[in-house]
Structure formats: C-alpha cells, structure tokens
Amino acid sequence: MPTYEYLCAKCGEQFQVQQSFSDPALKKHKGCGGTLSKVFGVPAISLKGSGFYKTDNPSSSRASSAKSETSDSKSDSATSSAQAEKKSEKKAEKKSASSSTKAAKPASGTT
C-alpha cells in the first residue's frame, strides 16, 4: 500500500498515512479540524548518468553490430594516434636538423 503525506493548513502538522489507491483522499485533520492537502515529495528512484539511449541495453541482434562499431572506432583511434606520433617525430627531426645547420655555419664576417 502506498504511503501519502498530508499537511494541515490550520496547525501546520505534517503526517503520513498508508492508503489504498481506491481510498478517497483525506479532507479534514482529526486533531484540529483544519483542511488537509497532499504533499508531493521526491521520487524514490533517481536516474543518473550520461544518458539513457537505445544502445544502452541492445537486443541480441543489435549487440553484435554495436560491438563491431566500437571495435571499428577503436582501430580508427589507434591509426590516428599512430599518424600523429609520426608527424611529431618528423617535426622533431626537422627542428634538430635546422638547429644543427645553424650552429655548423661559421660567421662570414670574421677571419
């Protein structure tokens, strides 16, 4: 049976009552005779996370396609990181070559 929370407008008392769904809502407070109103609270569950998508719990037919998509993206990222590493190596070689040629050249104005 669900538990409902009520608030008395006259005395300010707040209390809980277990009622069936088919039971009518309470109207008057037994203690002071004031008008009662239902208090709506926070739900018992909380959905936290990055989101809830159709791919979170894929069916068996989609599970294999979802796995292949993730493996494809992993191989793409591995390829792109390898290419980036090669580019940075080439830049480092160019910098070291240009700095060594500058140091090796003698000053032309002095003899």
Whether residue 84 lies inside any domain: the answer is no
From residue 17, alpha-carbon distances to 1, 24, 67 in Å are 10, 12, 50
Mean pLDDT (whole number) for 71-100:
63
Q: How confident is the model at residue 57 (pLDDT cuts 50, 70, 90)?
A: low
In a domain, 53, yes or no: no
Closest CA to 28 of 14, 13, 8: 8
- Domain assignment of residue 12, yes or no: yes
* CA gap 22, 85 in Å, rounded: 69
Domain-embedded: residue 7: yes
109 domain residue, yes or no:
no
- Number of domains forming the structure of the chain: 1
Question: Is 20 a member of any domain?
Answer: yes
User: What is the average pLDDT value for the chain, to the nearest integer?
Assistant: 73
Domain coverage including residue 7: 3-39
Read off the pLDDT of each residue in 28-35 and give the average, rounded to a whole number: 92
Check pLDDT > 60 for residue 72.
no
Q: Longest Cα pair distance anywhere in the chain, in angstroms?
A: 113
In a domain, 46, yes or no: no
Give the CA radius of gyration of the chain: 36
- Per the listing, tokens 């109207």 go with 27
Confidence of residue 66 (pLDDT cuts 50, 70, 90): low
Q: What is the mean pLDDT of residues 2-13?
A: 92
